[in-house]
């Protein structure tokens, strides 16, 4: 049996490890954060992700999944090591590869057998080549190592489902051996496996994410124009989506894309292109549109309120999208900062994101246990995330609970007719007022 180790127990690493165990492999997940590993050993996922807890427990009990901080023991006799650590954004927009190289160094210094190292983290084009040279430089034993690229396409909130039934598995390998090892590992998944060179595989990941980000920024741009020319973005996207070449996915306008991937991956590819002496103008435009879009609701509210000083502001939804407790690059963060700095009293509600939000704003925001409580006596309300429980609220609640029902919805949660019927002043994105 192939001994598989996964380095990094974050979104990518953990879900990969758990799903590989689920399809029958024996997997050890390594992370340097002791608290995280302690939780995982008890069968508790440190991240909120549907089905993950159940699968962790099931596979620990079946003796297919284990967790450790002892990387030396884990790496030393592994056949395949997946690297699934974070590659956050540097100040200048480039990708920070410190975690990747830290793990690469640890691997080089501890492995005692031939080993295939597989980079799942999103890394700039050419990184696989560099990591292979780096590891070979630091090897302590006379073993054969090879690095292969295998980018991850899971989305938060649907991570397990996306991995177990992925649209495709991309393998970037420079040898038949590496390609075969990965094909064998992924055989139980029964999904299309696309093999290519390492640089193409690295590019598939960036190009896919940047294309999706571009699609969102494009539709936000069109939505903004719809507002000024009197068109309705919902009718427009419906009309567009019947063209199968366009489709109906990722055409929802809003207050911009957030999360740990699109903002970082658009900036990283743009940064890389400039390094190469080529400017990716389309991606640059997507980034610029997104930066402005974050404050779209604030701009609307400023037309109605001279100042937010002393106002009670209800904020519904904090996470960057529904189905996750992740706040990375969530538009709610800079918007709440603005409100707090202007002296507003912010009352927030999110079904799962409040604990993480408290780490950013421990005292400046009042956290309520329900949306209704947050709306009590509020002067105005912002909706930043389209949680199902928010979308299905009866709009009369806004009228009944708020002092003045001024609702600014950044995710088009409600029908315009419903707002009108409930007697609410309702502003959304790309739709007539």
Strands of 261-391 (E only): list them: 312-316, 345-349, 365-367, 380-383
Give me the residues paired with residue 148 across strands.
118
Q: What is the DSSP letter of 268?
A: H
Distant-in-sequence, close-in-space partners of 47: CB < 8 Å, separation ≥ 6: 10, 11, 14, 325, 326
**Three-class HEC string of 135-176:** HHHHCCCCCCEEEEECCCCCCCCCHHHHHHCCCCEEEECCCH
Write out the two tokens for 403: 């002092």
**Total chain residues near ligand UGA (CB under 6 A):** 20
| Least gap, CB of 345 to ligand UGA (angstroms) | 26
Q: What x/- string results for residues 140 through 159 when contact with ligand UGA is judged by CB under 6 A?
A: ------------xxxxx---
Distance of closest approach, residue 223 Cβ to ligand UGA, in angstroms: 10
Residue 416 in contact with residue 431, Cβ under 8 Å?
yes
CB of 68 vs ligand UGA, minimal distance in Å: 25
What are the Cα distances from residue 16, in Å, to 73, 150, 189, 359, 399? 20, 11, 12, 28, 46
Cβ neighbours of 258 (radius 10 Å): 24
8 annotated to bind ligand: no
Mention every residue, 6+ apart, whose C-beta is less than 8 A from residue 221: 289
Q: Which is nearer to ligand UGA, 153 or 189 (CB)?
A: 153
Q: Map residues 95-134 to x or -, x wherever contact with ligand UGA holds by CB under 6 A.
A: ---------------------------x------------
Shortest Å distance, C-beta 12 to ligand UGA: 7
Binding mask 317-336 for ligand UGA (x = CB under 6 A): ---xx---------------
What is the Cα–Cα distance from 64 to 52, expressed in whole angstroms?
15
Is residue 261 among the annotated active site residues?
yes
Among 15, 60, 8, CA closest to 32: 8
> Which range in 76-84, 130-138, 259-267, 296-304 contacts ligand UGA by CB under 6 A?
259-267
Q: Which of 8, 13, 254, 317 binds ligand UGA (CB under 6 A)?
A: 254
- Residue 427 binding ligand UGA, by CB under 6 A: no
Q: Which of 8, 84, 258, 410 binds ligand UGA (CB under 6 A)?
A: 258
Helix and strand counts by DSSP (H, E) for the chain: 19, 14
Binding ligand UGA (rule: CB under 6 A), the pick from 259, 317, 353, 430 is 259
* Binding-site annotation, residues for NAD(+): 31, 36, 87, 122, 264, 328
* Binding-site annotation, residues for substrate: 205, 250-254, 258, 321
Binding site for ligand UGA (CB under 6 A): 122, 152-156, 209, 212, 216, 250-252, 254, 257-259, 261-262, 320-321
Catalytic residues: 261
């Amino acid at each position: 049996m192939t001994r598989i180790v996964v380095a990094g127990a974050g979104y990518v690493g953990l879900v990969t490890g758990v799903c590989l165990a689920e399809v029958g492999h024996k997997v050890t997940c390594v992370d340097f954060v002791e608290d995280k590993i302690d939780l995982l050993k008890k069968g508790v996922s440190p991240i909120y992700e549907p089905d993950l807890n159940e699968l962790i427990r099931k596979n620990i009990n079946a003796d297919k999944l284990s967790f450790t901080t002892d990387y030396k023991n884990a790496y030393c006799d592994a056949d395949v090591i997946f690297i699934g650590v974070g590659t956050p954004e540097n100040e200048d927009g480039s990708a920070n590869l410190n975690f990747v190289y830290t793990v690469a160094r640890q691997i080089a210094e501890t492995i005692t057998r031939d080993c295939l190292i597989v980079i799942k983290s999103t890394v700039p084009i050419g990184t696989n080549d560099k990591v292979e040279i780096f590891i070979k430089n630091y090897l302590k034993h006379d073993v054969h190592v090879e690095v292969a690229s295998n980018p991850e396409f899971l989305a938060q909130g649907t991570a397990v489902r996306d991995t177990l039934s992925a649209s495709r598995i991309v393998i970037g390998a420079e040898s038949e051996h590496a390609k075969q090892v990965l094909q064998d590992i992924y055989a139980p998944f029964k999904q299309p496996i696309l093999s290519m060179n390492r640089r193409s595989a690295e590019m598939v990941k960036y190009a896919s994410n940047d294309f999706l980000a571009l699609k969102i920024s494009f539709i936000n741009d069109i939505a903004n124009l719809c507002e000024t020319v009197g068109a309705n973005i919902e009718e427009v996207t419906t009309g567009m989506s019947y063209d199968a070449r366009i489709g109906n996915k990722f055409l929802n306008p809003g207050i911009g894309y957030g999360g740990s991937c699109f903002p970082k991956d658009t900036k990283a590819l743009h940064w890389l292109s400039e390094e190469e002496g080529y400017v990716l103008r389309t991606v640059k435009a997507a980034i610029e549109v997104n930066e402005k879009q974050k404050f779209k609701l604030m701009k609307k509210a400023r037309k109605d309120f001279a100042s937010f000083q002393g106002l009670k502001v209800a904020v519904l939804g904090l996470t960057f999208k529904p189905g996750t407790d992740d706040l990375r690059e969530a538009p709610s963060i800079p918007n709440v900062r603005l409100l707090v700095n202007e002296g507003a009293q912010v009352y927030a509600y999110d079904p799962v994101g409040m604990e993480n939000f408290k780490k950013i704003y421990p005292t400046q925001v009042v956290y309520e246990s329900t949306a209704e409580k947050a709306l009590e006596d509020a002067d105005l309300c912002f909706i930043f995330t389209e949680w199902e429980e928010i979308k299905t609220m009866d709009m009369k609640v806004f009228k009944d609970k708020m002092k003045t029902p001024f609702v600014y919805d950044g995710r088009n949660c409600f029908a315009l007719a419903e707002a009108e019927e409930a007697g609410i002043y309702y502003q959304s994105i790309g739709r007539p007022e």
